Amino acid sequence: MLKKLTLATAIGSLVMSASVFASSLTVGFSQIGSESGWRAAETAVSKAEAEKRGINLKISDAQQKQENQIKAVRSFIAQGVDAIFIAPVVQTGWGPVLEEAKDYEIPVFLLDRGITVDDDSLYMTAVTADNVLEGKVAGQWLLDTVKDKPCNVVELQGTVGASVAIDRKEGFSEAISNASNVNIVRTQSGEFTRSKGKEVMESFIKAENGGKNICAVFSHNDDMAIGAIQAIKEAGLKPGDDILVVSIDAVPDIFKAMMNGEANATVELTPNMAGPAFDALISYKENGTQPPKKIVTESNLYLPKDAKEQLDMKKDLGY
Ligand code: AHR
């Protein structure tokens, strides 16, 4: 296969206008799957952002498996795409396939999750939130809410090995580390899904005196929190009151739960990771501009008082 960046294409790119240039680009996106409302929104927003710029976006659904993502990357390389976007399901194991993309001079952009590789030139940039900070914001909210009261926390972790699960756990644990009254008493993965979140919360409730020993649930995403809310209700307790609910993502369903008094706080994760990545790609292809190694998105905290406004805003944005 011919390497992608020939002199002719490089000279050609100099005389093309931005929109004409973007409309000549094809990007392959290896998406994780559809485990959560946030993920569905990210896929929809990526399509819309590509369309806005006239970029041809090919999405491959990995169904939560890294091996499918690796196959997708190889297929994108064989198709000679202009760039590859990956939302990496887990943090490790990416070196060899990214070397292959590098051999063909196809830039790789990471969306919403990070990876650990020895050579960070294997990807151009990662568009992600600071997920340690997201965990810290959630932990700080809990500290401010419970003050000096004793609080046993149960934690619903995301996908095992996912950078965001590792980082959110670290941030939350760090935030509560100096508060002797707030402790994580149980922690387990709910795989970022609503059904698994519910199942794991049921087991926590059973193990903790029918839920009476639990003061709060920290869920690594909103979907698992929604599942947990269901489990709390089925146990005869009031979510948002008997058990505080704090999570991450800021998807419409958690705002609906807040409006029902069943959830207390969420930390934003924007589903628009692709937009900044497309812009970085276009600048790189047009003028060789190297983006920063990390493009960090916002991590605002939203409370029930913000729920209606956020819900309306999301509706307007079509999420
Ligand atoms: O990587 C981002 C995480 O993946 C979101 O917080 C979660 O909902 C999704 O499944």
What is the edge-to-edge ordering of all strands in the sheet holding 301-302?
182-189, 151-157, 216-219, 244-249, 265-268, 301-302
The response to whether residue 253 sits with its C-beta less than 6 Å from ligand 1 reads no
Q: What is the pLDDT of residue 18?
A: 52
- Which atom of ligand 1 is found nearest the CA of 113? 1
- Residue 2: pLDDT above 70? no
In the beta sheet, which residues pair with residue 191?
none
- Residue 237: pLDDT above 50? yes
CA distance 213 to 207: 9
- Residue 1: pLDDT above 70? no
The response to whether residue 168 sits with its C-beta less than 6 Å from ligand 1 reads no
- Which atom of ligand 1 is found nearest the CA of 222? 8
The response to whether residue 39 sits with its C-beta less than 6 Å from ligand 1 reads yes
> What are the tokens at 310?
């956020």
Whether the pTM exceeds 0.85: the reply is yes
The response to whether residue 108 sits with its C-beta less than 6 Å from ligand 1 reads no
pLDDT digits (tens, 9 = 90+) for 240-279: 999 999 999 999 999 999 999 999 999 999 999 999 999 9
CA distance 175 to 173: 5
Map out the domains of the chain with their CATH numbers. 7-128+270-297 (3.40.50.2300), 131-268 (3.40.50.2300)
In the beta sheet, which residues pair with residue 108?
84
CA distance 210 to 192: 23
CA distance 214 to 217: 8
To test the ligand 1 pocket, which listed residue (34, 35, 39) has its Cβ within 8 A of the most ligand atoms? 39
- Contact between 79 and 29 under an 8 Å Cβ cutoff? The reply is no
H helices present in 16-81, as ranges: 18-22, 37-53, 66-79
Residue 81: CB atoms within 10 A of its CB come to 23
H helices present in 82-176, as ranges: 95-103, 131-146, 163-176
By alpha-carbon position, which residue is closest to atom 4 of ligand 1?
A: 39
- Contact between 82 and 27 under an 8 Å Cβ cutoff? The reply is yes
Mean pLDDT of 31-50: 97
The response to whether residue 157 sits with its C-beta less than 6 Å from ligand 1 reads no
- Which atom of ligand 1 is found nearest the CA of 269? 6
pLDDT digits (tens, 9 = 90+) for 126-152: 999 999 999 999 999 999 999 999 999
Ligand 1 centroid to residue 310 C-alpha, Å: 19
Split at pLDDT 50, 70, 90, the class of 315 is confident
- Give the list of residues 6+ apart from residue 64 with CB closer than 8 angstroms, or none: 32, 33, 35, 89, 159
- Residue 16: pLDDT above 80? no
Ligand 1 centroid to residue 274 C-alpha, Å: 14
DSSP letter (8 states) at residue 265: E
Mean pLDDT of 289-305: 97
Ligand 1 centroid to residue 104 C-alpha, Å: 30
The response to whether residue 25 sits with its C-beta less than 6 Å from ligand 1 reads no
pLDDT digits (tens, 9 = 90+) for 164-179: 999 999 999 999 999 9
Question: Crossing angle of helices 222-234/252-259, nearest 10°?
Answer: 40
- pLDDT cut 70: percent of the chain above it: 93
- Give the list of residues 6+ apart from residue 273 with CB closer than 8 angstroms, or none: 42, 46, 87, 111, 112, 127, 128, 297
CA distance 29 to 83: 9
By alpha-carbon position, which residue is closest to atom 7 of ligand 1?
A: 221
Average pLDDT, the chain: 94
- Residue 291: pLDDT above 80? yes
- Which atom of ligand 1 is found nearest the CA of 192? 10
Split at pLDDT 50, 70, 90, the class of 8 is very low
Mean pLDDT of 215-225: 98
- Which atom of ligand 1 is found nearest the CA of 248? 6
How far is it between the farthest Cα atoms of the chain?
70
The response to whether residue 268 sits with its C-beta less than 6 Å from ligand 1 reads no
